[in-house]
Amino acid sequence: MQNPHSIQPHSHFTPTTRHEQPSDSEFRGRVSVVAWAVVAATAVSLFVRLPGIFVIDFNAFGSPISLQFSDSQVMAIFLALLAASGAESAIRVHPHFRRKSAGFWATWSYWALPAALSILAVVLIPQLPTQITQAIGLLVQGGLVSVVMFALYATVDAGAPGFRRGRLVLNVLAYASALALFLLVYQTRTRSLLSGSLVALTATLLAVELLRSTTERRELVLSHALVVGMVLGESTWALNYWPLPGLTGGLLLLLIFYLIVSLAQHGLQNHLTRRVLIEFAVFAVFALLLIAVVGPGF
């Protein structure tokens, strides 16, 4: 007869990864939902056109101001908000924020790159020549959104093993997105009010992502990113009066963006010295010479 005291209750045996697996699976599920939602919304924007132009009238300092928004601009704003909310939902699953019960101010900087990619998708995908290439563009967009979400998740904790790899992926995507935006905007030759505003907004979002890991003080990240966006918007406005080819103008804007963001990174880390300024000045001269050789019409 078996001794009843020799039977150990199974309820005491729990896997060591019990508290980790639900978090990871929940994160993957949220990333999948966000990616498909953004792709579906972008696809809808290709076929559905909103009626007319939305106009907002208001007074600023006693002067009447009228803001006009086209259907593509409205969809870009909607998709940016959708991607930002999706990034918030996915990042909140990370144990770092669950333990700290972090508020809004701790996670808003993770919205920037997904929002910027969504704005770029609304601008770039309709420019593709055929429906097949547009469908491929939508699939690429969904893949990029997923990659960005996983890279953002990996860079929440600076001490995590995948932090550097995730940071590298985010940096590459941010600068590649900036180049794609600058080339498209400069080639289309749209009005300075529209092109400058689009570049300023997207450059601000990309700068937030590039500066996010340099300091824990989010207010400094935002202020420096706003300066980057303002400089790029003003630069776009000025370059529109210069009859340069699209490639040359886009490369010049990318050079300005890189220099301003790099100086901001060194400033936030208190590494901005005379030697650093000289190094960037020399780099800017060589970059301008290279653009003069590669870019026609400089």
Encode the chain (298 residues) as per-residue pLDDT tens digits.
444 444 444 434 333 333 444 467 888 888 889 999 999 988 888 887 665 555 565 555 555 555 556 667 778 888 889 998 888 888 888 877 766 555 656 778 888 899 989 888 888 888 888 889 999 999 999 999 999 999 998 888 887 788 889 999 999 999 999 998 888 877 766 666 677 788 888 999 999 999 988 888 888 999 999 999 999 988 888 887 777 777 888 888 999 999 999 999 998 888 888 898 999 999 999 988 888 887 665 5
For residue 67, give its domain range.
20-157
212 and 152, same domain (yes or no): no
Report the distance separating Cα 149 and Cα 86, nearest Å: 9
168 and 278, same domain (yes or no): yes
Residue 217 CB contacts under 8 Å (≥ 6 apart), including other chains: none
294 and 201, same domain (yes or no): yes
Residue 1 lies in a domain: no
Report the distance separating Cα 50 and Cα 38, nearest Å: 18
173 and 273, same domain (yes or no): yes
Residue 6 lies in a domain: no
Cα dist from 207 to 110, 113, 233, 276, whole Å: 12, 9, 13, 20
Number of domains in the chain: 2
153 and 164, same domain (yes or no): no
Residue 141 lies in a domain: yes
Identify the bridge partners of residue 65 per DSSP, sorted by sequence position.
Answer: 58
Looking at 95, 127, 157, the residue that finishes a domain is 157
Residue 296 lies in a domain: yes
Looking at 128, 157, 186, the residue that finishes a domain is 157
Between strands 63-69 and 54-60, the pairing is antiparallel
Q: Find where tokens 């700068």 sit.
A: 207
200 and 275, same domain (yes or no): yes
Looking at 157, 179, 208, the residue that finishes a domain is 157
Residue 218 lies in a domain: yes
Residue 50 lies in a domain: yes
CA atoms within 13 A on the CB side of 115: 22
Residue 179 lies in a domain: yes
177 and 268, same domain (yes or no): yes
